[in-house]
Structure 1
Amino acid sequence: MASKNRMGKGVSRRSVLKGVAAGGAALAMPAIISRSALASSGEIDIMMWSDYLPDSFREAFTKKTGIKINFTGIGSNDDILNKMKATNGQGFDLITPTMNRSPLWEPLGLVQPFDMKKIAIDKVNPAMAKAGETNWNFGGKGQMWIPHIWGTEGVAWRTDKFTPKGEFPSYGDVWDDANAGKTMGRGHSVMLGAGLALEHAGTWAPGTMWSAYETPEKLTEVWTKLTEYCISKKKNLKLLWNDADTQKNGLLNEGVIVGQTWDGPPLALKTAGEPVMYRAPVEGAMAWVDGLALPIGAKNIDQIYAFIEACYDPEMAGEAIKTHGYNSPVTGAEKFAGEVYAKNFGDAYPGDALAKLNPWPPEKPWYAEKRAEFVDKFKSA
């Protein structure tokens, strides 16, 4: 983040990275890439979130290293987990689970430790690196996750068709009868957003939604009434998304004027000159960190570490985030992301927005399973 782009209440981009962890143009491959990486050639099979690998990054990486990237795009953590379960950890060299999903992965035995001597982990935010070291060191066997991309889920809108009531939008705007048939969200998270909006409005007690993470009984209590509310308002949602392209298409072509979205897709549209804005809502944006993990069936070992080396180079990381609109944990990457990135970051998190971020809590296996039952009930209503 450019130094002139100041955040409210003394909250910096570096401090928000720490807080989250605790809970384009053709690219030029930097000279820092090692000789071993340049000599690797071959292929690497990566399963990653659909918009995390811009064409420019892949093309520059292949041109300089000779390594061909076979890319499988996904839109949810369930996609990653289900594919790995179905193949018993085979078929991919790198996958990209979200940091808070470690309780789901630990009992499965589908990932293995990295050789951390081959990774310049000191180039990334220390708190995020520590989270991988502690939360993803299953059975004391070694670190099985390293940070790659971080971002938030908040509210995006068409600036030519919608205006928030104040400086900040609300998750409740997605469910508002005034916007009926012109909104969108992702199943489980748009439902959680509805609950946070009810808390903010004083309809529900503060902390209600987070209490659902405590026990299966509490989840059932909270999500039963949440699902009833969301079903009563379901007609107001035009579409449910599950990937970046669906979010973009909703805002551009499907008549959506306001939606609960990731930060990257609407910011990419904004950068391209479309009448789109993204901002952390008054209730606080949901913050996440996606990483890289090594499946037990990984085959192309040299290519894996060459890819990580490129991802952890500040210039490569900066050019990538300039294109996809998310954020990098790599120290100094923002210096290579340009002034447009700096402006987008400031527009997305004005005032005390960074201080109000809500990191996604760790999800126990029982939580994900029981929540899915309520989400399915909502979707099928």
Structure 2
Amino acid sequence: MSDRISNRSASRRSVLKGGVAAGAALAMPAIISSKALASSGEINILMWSDYLPDTFIKTFQDGTGIKLNYTGVGSNEEIINKLKATKGRGFDICSPTNNRSLQWQPLELLQPFDMSKVEIDKVNPAMAKIGSTDWAFTDGAIYWVPHIWGTEGIAWRTDKFKPAGELPSYGDVWKDENAGKTMGRGHSMMLGAGLYMETIGELEPGSVWKAYKSIEDMTPIWTKITDWCIARKKNIKVLWNDADTQKNGLLNEGVIVGQTWDGPPLALKNSGEPVMYAAPVEGAMAWVDGMAIPSGAENIDQIYEFLKYAYNPEYAGEAIDHHGYNSPVNGADKFAGASYAKNFAEAYPGAALENLNPWPAEPQWYADARTEFVNKFTSA
């Protein structure tokens, strides 16, 4: 086993399995500073489209008197492009994913947190550490703190599809027997196809992760993945780009199995729909979405009031029932509904947590090259 694989396995255990362990006691209610209430009284947040349920927004606004202006997004590229266009102005908080630090650092579109105002001790330590390692852009400064974590795996209609084994496979999305009834997101669905190709001998084991080393390593691997996916493109019905597209595919577009985030299908499951989500046999892709402060943020005091609410176990736990993802806040799971623990156990049975695949840090050259491969696939 190479050093890379060993480190990746350790990361799975420390970051992700640690994230689901129960924390400690219930946090005290957020204390609202008079300075925040006396200032402009609003905060502008650029965040993934399903992360702030109405119940959380109402609790925050009623408790602080601060108006929350919420702009939803569906991809990291959208976050980056919006802030590049405004030169870091217009938003007080944005929500990049942990593995995008190499893309953000050279842009200089973020400012560091005043960590004396962040209750980081309320967060799973392994996830909090991501900010002080991958996102410590300048000495002693932290530009990212964790907010929500989850995975990308396989969702399906329980009334129309049944996995061949205990766990589904990324390959289920591409199989001829499911043709015209599957969905996925371009770049991650192709990566999932690569992991499946490794199991059937179409790629050497470890190829998908080797592709992150250099453009020379990536090109032949992703060329094979792209050609394989193009040959089976007719089997894909829906290419999704956000949470709502995933839900609509499962409910209204005839999709019986798809590669999705965990939150949307689990939210459907909670509402009584015949939908299931689970880590595939190849290992679910795991991520931690965080919070960062754009360089042109204006409502600074309100940012730290928002963080107090985001890191309150009761509020974070209640939000879990609406968005379907997981919270890094210690003890948040204790305030989720009864279905949360059941859903989590069914989504990650057996050794599924040990087999999670953390998204590797993604340099800009990799993202640019991958976009070219994805465009070739989608335009084929």
**What range is the shorter-chain TM-score in?**
over 0.9
2:33 counterpart SS class: helix
> 2:27·2:313 contact (CA, 8 Å) conserved in 1?
no
Matching residue's letter, 1:93 = D
Superposed counterparts of 1:185-204, under 5 Å: 185-204=184-203
Give the Å deviation of 1:39.
5.5
In structure 2, the residue corresponding to 1:368 is in which secondary structure?
helix
Conserved? CA contact 2:36–2:305, under 8 Å: no
Please give the alpha-carbon distance, in whole angstroms, between the structure 2 residues aligned to 1:139 and 1:347.
41
Deviations 1:284-317 (A, max 9, x none): 0000000000000100011100000000011011
Does 2:24 correspond to 1:32? Answer: no
Structural mapping, 1:168-317, within 5 Å? 168-317=167-316
CA deviation vs aligned residue, 1:241-294 (integer Å, no higher than 9, x gap): 010000000000000000000000000000000000000000000000000000
- Tell me which stretches of 4 or more aligned residues in structure 1 moved more than 6 Å: none
SS of the residue 2:354 aligns to: helix
Query: Pairwise mapping of residues 311-330 of structure 1 onto structure 2 (< 5 A)?
Result: 311-330=310-329
1:37 offset after TM fit, Å?
6.9
The answer as to whether partners of 1:38 and 1:66 remain within 8 angstroms in 2 is: no
- The answer (yes or no) to whether the contact 2:17–2:354 under 8 Å persists in 1 is no
| Contact in 1 for aligned 2:49/2:73 (Cα 8 Å) | yes
Partners of 1:129 and 1:216 lie apart in 2 by 31
Residues 176-204 of structure 1 show CA distances to partners (whole Å, capped at 9, x for unaligned) of 00000000000000001111111122332
Q: Aligned pair in 2 of structure 1 residues 38, 153: CA closer, same or farther (>3 Å)?
A: farther
Query: What residue in structure 1 maps to residue 137 of structure 2?
Result: 138
Structure 1 CA distance, aligned partners of 2:223 and 2:28?
56
Q: CA deviation at 1:140?
A: 1.7
Task: State the 1:156 CA deviation.
Answer: 0.1
CA distance in 2, matches of 1:276, 1:255: 13
Evaluate the alpha carbon distance shift between residue 60 and residue 163 of structure 1 in structure 2; reply closer, same or farther with a 3 A threshold: same
Q: Is the 8 A contact 2:313 2:330 kept in 1?
A: yes
Per-residue CA distance 1:53-100 (angstroms, 9 max, x = gap): 000100111011111110000000000011111111111000000001
User: Would you say the 8 A contact 1:216–1:367 is kept in 2?
Assistant: yes
1:30 Cα deviation (Å)? 7.9
Distance 2:36 2:281 in 1: 50
**What's the offset of the Cα at 1:16?**
5.4
Amino acid aligned to 1:77: N
| Code of the aligned partner of 2:49 | S
Write the letter of the residue equivalent to 1:274. E
Query: What SS is found at the alignment partner of 2:37?
Result: coil
Q: Give the Cα–Cα distance (whole angstroms) in 2 for the partners of residues 216 and 37 of structure 1.
A: 53
**TM (normalized to structure 2)?**
0.92
CA distance in 2, matches of 1:256, 1:306: 41
User: What's the offset of the Cα at 1:18?
Assistant: 5.6
CA deviations on 1:118-156 (whole Å, 9 max, x unpaired) are 011000011111110111111325100000000000000
How many Å separate the matches in 2 of 1:208 and 1:377?
A: 20
Distance 1:202 1:334 in 2: 40
Q: Secondary structure at the match of 1:191?
A: helix
Match of 1:25 in 2: none
Q: Are 2:15 and 2:126, in contact at CA under 8 Å, matched by a contact in 1? A: no
Query: CA separation in 2, counterparts of 1:109 and 1:145?
Result: 13
CA offsets, 1:328-355, max 9 Å, x none?
A: 0000000001220000000100011000
Which position in structure 2 is the counterpart of 1:364? 363
Secondary structure at the residue paired with 1:354?
coil
* Shift of residue 35, structure 1, vs aligned partner: 3.3
Q: How does 1:140-155 map to 2 (within 5 A)?
A: 140=139, 142-155=141-154
Is contact 1:53–1:320 with CA below 8 Å preserved after alignment?
A: yes
Match of 2:122 in 1: 123
Distance 2:373 2:74 in 1: 20
* Superposed counterparts of 1:336-347, under 5 Å: 336-347=335-346
Question: Cα RMSD over matched residues?
Answer: 1.9
How far apart are 1:20 and its partner, in Å?
Answer: 7.9
How much does 1:40 deviate?
Answer: 2.1
Q: Which runs of 5+ in 1 are unaligned?
A: 1-10, 22-28
Q: Which amino acid aligns with 2:92?
A: D
Paired position in structure 1 for 2:4: none
How many positions carry a matched residue from both structures?
Answer: 363
Equivalent-residue separation in structure 2 for 1:163 and 1:210 (angstroms): 29
SS in 1 for 2:180: coil
Q: Displacement, 1:32?
A: 1.7
**Are the aligned partners of 2:123 and 2:328 in contact in 1 as well (CA < 8 Å)?**
yes
CA distance in 1, matches of 2:16, 2:338: 20
Deviates more, 1:123-132 or 1:272-281: 123-132
Mean Cα displacement is larger for which, 60-69 or 248-257? 60-69
Letter in 1 for 2:337: G
> What's the % identity of the aligned pairs?
67
Distance (Å, rounded) in 2 between the aligned partners of 1:318 and 1:71: 20
Contact 1:16/1:355 (<8 A) preserved: no
Match of 1:8 in 2: none
Q: Is residue 37–residue 306 contact of structure 1 (8 Å, CA) maintained in 2?
A: no
Deviation for aligned residue 1:365: 1.0
**Could you tell me the TM-score, scaled by structure 1's length?**
0.92
